[in-house]
Amino acid sequence: QSVLTQPPSVSAAPGQKVTISCSGSDSNIGKNHVSWYQQLPGTAPKLLIYENDKRPSGIPDRFSGSKSGTSATLGITGLQTGDEADYYCGTWDSSLTAVLFGGGTKLTVL
Amino acid sequence: EVQLVQSGAEVKKPGESLKISCKGSGYSFSIYWIAWVRQMPGKGLEWMGIIYPGDSDTRYNPSFQGQVTISADKFISTAYLQWSSLKASDTAMYFCARSTDFSGKSNYWGQGTLVTVSS
């Protein structure tokens, strides 16, 4: 069981919007930046969001991130079938002195 | 172009040793941290530890301390992850990833090395 809690799955129709939550604590999300990753089946994770709400170059603005207190949220608008993947949040935990990842959320685009 | 290229899949028996590699190119290897991440079959990501190739400063996730050894050779731009005695529970995909800090932000990843430990 991960210290960062994500819903196991979310789903929405093409073109719709979905949000994925990541709940932590004072020692991780509460104190440190959050990153979000997309992992397509059989591939390495891909950075979507860093420092809570910044997008690396090449990541479309359909993907957004936010953080409030000890929780973070990934938003995806204009859903496409190619967005079907596992999504992970990640952050440093100052007490455990390790990077933590959430358990992952499987996105299904119906 | 920044690339991290990992060594190929391995099949080992319990008790055997193993060292897998991650070779960086397209950037100054010494000045970026390299993290190792485990993904067990059908499971999520687990951060194992990180090394700074410039001076081999290494930090381990306490959950993996003593279970693996992370090292690097800056002269050949390669980082390593090794086990002295593999267990069946070490069966997993292992990724290396370039990081600028300890925030968990890694925008370049290797393709992964599948390690299978079975008698």
B112 touches A: beta carbon within 8 Å: yes
pLDDT of B111 strictly over 80: yes
Interface test with B, best of A86, A99, A100, A101 (most B CBs within 10 A): A99
Q: What is the pLDDT of residues B10-43, one digit of tens each?
A: 999 999 999 999 999 999 999 999 999 999 999 9
Q: Is the dihedral of CA B59, B62, B63, B68 positive or negative?
A: positive
Residue of A nearest to B104 (CA): A91
What residues contact residue A77 under an 8 Å CB cut-off, 6+ apart? A17, A62, A64
Length of chain B (residues): 119
Q: What is the pLDDT of residues B38-59, one digit of tens each?
A: 999 999 999 999 999 999 999 9
Q: What is the pLDDT of residues A51-77, one digit of tens each?
A: 999 999 999 999 999 999 999 999 999
Q: Looking at residue B101, what is its pLDDT? A: 84
pLDDT of B64 strictly over 70: yes
Q: Looking at residue A16, what is its pLDDT? A: 97
Sole residue written with tokens 């993904």? B39
pLDDT of B115 strictly over 80: yes
Which chain A residues touch B47 with a CB distance below 8 Å?
A: 90, 98-101
Compute the distance between CA of residue B20 and CA of residue B36 in angstroms, rounded to an integer: 11
Joined tokens for residue A22: 């990541």
What residues contact residue B112 under an 8 Å CB cut-off, 6+ apart? A44, B6, B39, B93, B94, B95
Q: What residues of chain A score a pLDDT lower than 50?
A: none
B63 touches A: beta carbon within 8 Å: yes
C-beta neighbour count of A77 within 10 angstroms? 14
What residues contact residue A27 under an 8 Å CB cut-off, 6+ apart? A93, A94, A95, A96
User: For chain B, where are the alpha helices, taking DSSP H only?
Assistant: none
Q: What is the pLDDT of residues B93-109, one digit of tens each?
A: 999 999 988 788 899 99
Q: Looking at residue B102, what is its pLDDT? A: 78
Q: Looking at residue A1, what is its pLDDT? A: 60
Q: Looking at residue A3, what is its pLDDT? A: 85
Length of chain A (residues): 110
Parallel, antiparallel, or unpaired: how do β-strands B18-25 and B3-6 relate? antiparallel
B109: nearest CB among A45, A103, A104: A45
Of B58, B99, B33, the residue nearest A50 (C-alpha): B99
